[in-house]
Structure 1
């Protein structure tokens, strides 16, 4: 198991290095005059040039990259070009909002997808067909459209939930959950639609195996067969899809944070990209990759625990 974990950690570090490096060069090759954006159109050419020197933009690209990489290795992501604030501090203050939404959405996706997928696999017939149609419909509707409909109906029309804003968990569970409900539902619908299909297929395959018939012949109840044995058999495939759903939710949260005016890293990434704030944008990339690597490692460990053959593959 230790060797398995070390291999996953090494691959995670390699993914962080490659992703951040490629992003760095792509951003700087595609960037415009950042100094002009900071100073405004009224700034003179000499002022713009002085600002470029201050930001280090007069240095060769490889020198800027090596300087950024040294800072990363020492845990220093630099300062924002627009606010002069710490990149790490700014991201840390917004990370809780994004991770709260995504984590709750993942939990909701896992629970609902399991119930829907297992129900479709066990009952089959018209129940299976109805659930499949609903799943396909849920996957086809864009997240931003779902978010807009939820805001219009449940926030503006009926006033059941706040339309915008985020309340931290420390301020109270009720206030926190009220601001989380609509964004989580908007994020989770698409994930439930796709993951429930994977759970259904894995459960049908597990139910057709010989050991299930043996367990039933020994008098085990259908509930015990499904929840103690079939779900364990279907779990590795479902967990793999869930990890992919998590990555997709991190990307989709950018749009959801815009719709619900949430102070998360998705909104920060979009704002930084619009302004050309490269240190802040690179910091968001690094934090996002770290979160994805951590989640994938946890999923790999869970799959290896459920299926020991994975550890030696």
Structure 2
């Protein structure tokens, strides 16, 4: 098991290095005149040159990358070129907000997907057809349209939830729940569709196995067979899809946070990329890639627990 974990950690570190390296050179290749962008179009040539020198932009790109990497491995991601705020502080202060949305949407997706997928696999018939329609709608309707619809119907018309804003959990648990419910629903719909289809197919395949017929022949109730044995064997592929959905939800959160005016990483990402704030963008890339590595490691560990054969791969 330790060897299995070590291999996954090593591959995660390599992935983090490759992603950050490619992102750095791509950002600098398309950055243009960064110093003038920071100072404004009215800045003098001498002022622009001084600003570029103070930021180290007059050095070769490979030297700048080596300097950034040397600081990054120690946890120093630099400071924003436009606000001067420490990049780590700017990200961590908003990361918990985005994670609360993404983790909440992932949990909701997993629970509902298990219920719908198992129901479709066991009942078949009209239940299966209804689940298929729900899945197709989940794939077809963009998350931002769902978010707008939820705001108009449930927040503005019915006044069940707050249309915009965010209340920290520490300030008011009830207020926090009121502000995150609609964004979580908007993010979760796409995940529900994908995971439901995977669970449905995996459960159908597992129900056809000999061990299921043997358990049923010994009088074991079908519910116990499904939730104790079948789901364990069908859980591996579903976890892989859920991990992909988790990563994809970060991209969806950028749009959803803008719609609901939630101060998460979405607002920071939009502002940093539109301004060309490379240190902040690189910090976002590193944090996002690190989260992907952590999630993949957790999924690999869960799959190794569900299926010991995975540990040998």
TM-score bracket, normalised by the shorter chain, equals over 0.9
Alpha-carbon distance in 1 for matches of 2:202, 2:234: 5
**Local SS of the residue matching 2:170:** helix
1:217 to partner: Cα distance: 1.1
Please list, as runs of the form range in 1=range in 2, the aligned pairs for 1:94-243 lying within 5 A after superposition.
94-243=94-243
Give the corresponding residue for 1:84: 84
Please list, as runs of the form range in 1=range in 2, the aligned pairs for 1:10-29 lying within 5 A after superposition.
10-29=10-29
Alpha-carbon distance in 2 for matches of 1:174, 1:68: 42
User: What number of residue pairs does the alignment pair up?
Assistant: 313
1:143 to partner: Cα distance: 0.9
1:172 to partner: Cα distance: 2.2
Could you report, residue by residue, the CA deviation over 1:183-238 in whole angstroms, capped at 9, with x for unpaired residues?
00000001101110000000000111111111111111121111111111111111
Give the corresponding residue for 1:43: 43
Could you tell which deviates more after superposition, 193-202 or 42-51?
42-51
1:42 to partner: Cα distance: 2.0
Alpha-carbon distance in 2 for matches of 1:241, 1:212: 24
Alpha-carbon distance in 2 for matches of 1:61, 1:223: 61
Could you report, residue by residue, the CA deviation over 1:149-205 in whole angstroms, capped at 9, with x for unpaired residues?
111111112121111111111112211111110100000001101110000000000
Alpha-carbon distance in 1 for matches of 2:151, 2:32: 36
Give the corresponding residue for 1:252: 252
Q: Tell me which stretches of 4 or more aligned residues in structure 1 moved more than 3 Å.
A: none
TM-score, normalised to structure 2, is: 0.98
1:32 to partner: Cα distance: 2.2
Could you report, residue by residue, the CA deviation over 1:105-134 in whole angstroms, capped at 9, with x for unpaired residues?
000000000000000000000110111011
Alpha-carbon distance in 1 for matches of 2:122, 2:168: 40
**Local SS of the residue matching 1:170:** coil
1:52 to partner: Cα distance: 0.9
Alpha-carbon distance in 1 for matches of 2:301, 2:169: 29
Could you report, residue by residue, the CA deviation over 1:39-59 in whole angstroms, capped at 9, with x for unpaired residues?
122211211111111111111
Could you tell which deviates more after superposition, 132-141 or 115-124?
132-141
Please list, as runs of the form range in 1=range in 2, the aligned pairs for 1:54-69 lying within 5 A after superposition.
54-69=54-69
Could you tell which deviates more after superposition, 191-200 or 160-169?
160-169
5+ long unaligned stretches in structure 2: none
Give the corresponding residue for 1:262: 262
1:266 to partner: Cα distance: 2.2
5+ long unaligned stretches in structure 1: none
Alpha-carbon distance in 1 for matches of 2:32, 2:268: 19
Alpha-carbon distance in 2 for matches of 1:164, 1:175: 12
